[in-house]
Structure formats: structure tokens, C-alpha cells
A and B are shown apart, each in its own frame.
Chain A
């Protein structure tokens, strides 16, 4: 290995091992300095090629997600004793769904705003937040109160009809003529009157929950995509036909210039050759498409002189629309018939929407955190983090105020839901989502691979020589 030690260097010539730059230490310093430069440059490379991912408040999200929410419902029986109230509380707590907490007091009812008063009486009357009902037996009383406080525990099928919560809905009323030139075209309708009479009261009641934008249009040629079945008295629609009734390709239904969900209400006038059109095995001539809206069929009378929808037809159509709207925004199965919607039902709806949005918010936040952890390539920017924090703050405020004011806590839960959705669907996160790592290696390899090999080999060689030297010197 060291042949120069054995050889005699002729005089006049220098031993190359004595050259100043051939010292072991200098060579080792040079190799070490290469490696130190690489190590110092690594953080700079990491910083310049990393995606902006701000830290998300994960712990806070998981903590919030696990916290259960409970909305108190306060009942007061002014003319009873504590025994009845405690038995009633027990019975109700067993019957109400999770998330509601029933507190029954007796005796002197306080002047708190949200307390419901139940007093005995001959008939069942609901007025405002006051219920008068016969106190015959506990079971019947419990049943009555549960149907007013939490009427949503009915069949699953009716639950799916209700549209998902949104702060603003667009209601689009369309009058569709299948063929206006076949003789029975309805050319116009007094839609503003119909809305004012039948729909507006419902919208005014639902004002604390949603905002509504209304628009309407008339179409003169709206053909159906399928053939109608002839029946003995005209034409009929079977259940399968109802599922494909909406011909979205040919009918220009309303699609808004904004992101709000649209509920469509269609009054369909079949052409003169297809009149009368009925739904087979059903007495009504209207049907609901879940979470989309409803359709009502209007068969023009055989003598059709004016071309405007008659008052009777208008009134019938809009009362159908009103029912369909109520089914799509909330499900109602109240046994009472006094007035349009009572304060009990509205409160029950607010509570139900509050639970739904709180659950939706928690689900959205949890899946967002999971997504951000799974996709390393997804940038998370300032506005997304602000939305998440804002949503968490609103959830916090919701938990704190759930026991005090119903409308205030509903506002918080709606705000939390909107912010969480906005953060989840933020388009700025898509930037580098599909950047494959193979491309990164393909760009780095030709640049650095050829330079790293001699560095590695020389470093290893020097290390081996150093170890040998140390072993020898011992």
C-alpha cells in the first residue's frame, strides 16, 4: 500500500507524499467540507421546495368532535306537583332523541323566554308556547309532548325528503307546457298572487332558519322523454315514470348564478293529446322528488278559452307547492291543525337543524383533518386555516350558549357549518395535488447522482484509511 516507503527516492527528486497539498489532513478537510456544504444546503432546499401547509388545530378539532351537544328543553307544569313532574321528566328523557335534554319543573313558572307551559284542560289546544291538554294518563301526555317537542322520530323514508341545510335557498317556480300549440297552452299565470297567498306565510315563519330567493318562469315547449301509458280514462304515469319525469336536457330549469341550492316547483300542463294525465294508483296528481323539489300536474279542462291559469287552478297548484315546500324544508307530522305552524314546531325544527348542522360541522372538520394528513401534497393556506378556526370558535360559542338562547345558538351552529364547508371546498387546495413524486426524482437524479458517487466513495475510502491508521497506531 505504501510502496514509496520501500523505494529509495533518487536524490534530486522530491517524495510526492511530502507535497504540502498531499497531507492526509488536508484531503480529509476537503472531503469533509464538501459534505458540510451539502448538509448546510439541505435545509435551504427543503424550505424552498416545501408546500405551504399551515398547522391545523388538530387537537382542538378532535376534542370538539368528541364533545356531545345537549340542548335543553324546559317544560313547566304550573298546576301540578313535583311528583308528576319528576315522573314526566323520566318518561320524556327516555323518549326524546339524543341531543335533547328535558327538564320539567312544576309550580311557579319563571319568566324565561323559552319555557313551555303545559296545563290541564278538556281539549288539546296549542297556543304559542302554551299547551292545554287533558292530563288523563302519563303515557298519553308523554306522547303528546314528544310529538310536539321532537317530531322527527318517524320513518326513515320521510327523513330523506328534507333538503340539506343551507342558509339561503332559491325557490324556482316553473310553469311547463308540454306543447303550447296543441290547443291548450297556458300562456301565463299570476304567480305573484299565488306566492303571496300560499307560499309567503310559510316563508315568513321559516325566516329565522333560512333566507329565500324566489324566481319564476314559463316554458311553452317542454316535451317528455318517454312515452305515456294510455289508460282507460286518458294517460297514466307509473312509479318508474315518475323517477325519470324530469327531462333536464330539454327543459331549461333554473340554475342560479350563485352557489345556493335550488328547490324547483313545477306545474306541468300536458298537451291536448295527452290530457288527462294521472298518476296510476294514486289519487293525487303531484309528487315530490326528494331534496330537489316537487311536480304538480294540471289537466286543462276540455273547454279552454282563456289562456291564463284560472284562479282555482292557481290556488290548488300553490297549495300543493306549499305542502311540497314544507316537506322539503322540514318534515311535519303534527296532529294539531291550528294554524300553519306553531311555535312548538318551529322550535323543534330549529333544534333539529341545530343538531344536524352541529353534527355536519363536526364531521366536516374531522374528515378535513384526516384528508390533510393523508395527502401530503395538499397546500393549506391562511384563509383555510382561518375558516377552520372560525368554525371551531363558533362551535365553542354554540356549546356555551346552547342552554341560554335557542335562536342565538342556532345562528352559531349555522355559521360553524358554513365556515367548515367553505374551508373543505376551498379551491386553493388543489394546486399540487396530483404532482407525482417520480417526477421529482427524475429531475434530481441526473443533476446530483453523478456528483454524489465520487463523494461517497472517497469519504468511505478515507474513513477506512483513518480506521486502519488508528488501529495501527495502537
Chain B
């Protein structure tokens, strides 16, 4: 799977989790950019990402993520 395909999938996931079709997953996107992105919705987001890509995250990996670019890189490393 290419990086652009990962971002396409993440865009769909973000739109579903945050119920906002205008959202686009970009490397710079952070929790501070989306009002509804709190620690609980972040965990729901990560579970959805795990299921979609059929991968597993550790708590430490989730805790270190600073933006969507780091999330995409982590996904790419696990595929």
C-alpha cells in the first residue's frame, strides 16, 4: 500500500469517526485542529485504524504520536 493510499484511507476514517465529510488527513493535522478530537475519540480513532489496516498499536506507540504524519508513518512501518 502506498503512502497516498494510507492518507486516502485515513481521510475516510477521520470523516467517519468525527462525522465530518470536510476533513482531510494531512501530515500536519493534529488533535488541536479538530474540536471533537479528545483522548477518548483518539482511542476510537486508533481502534478504527487498527481494524481498517489489520494492524496493532501499543499504548506507547499511540502516546508518542504527535500528528497524522507520524500516524501514517507508523501504519506504513507495520504493513
Answer whether A and B are interacting partners.
no
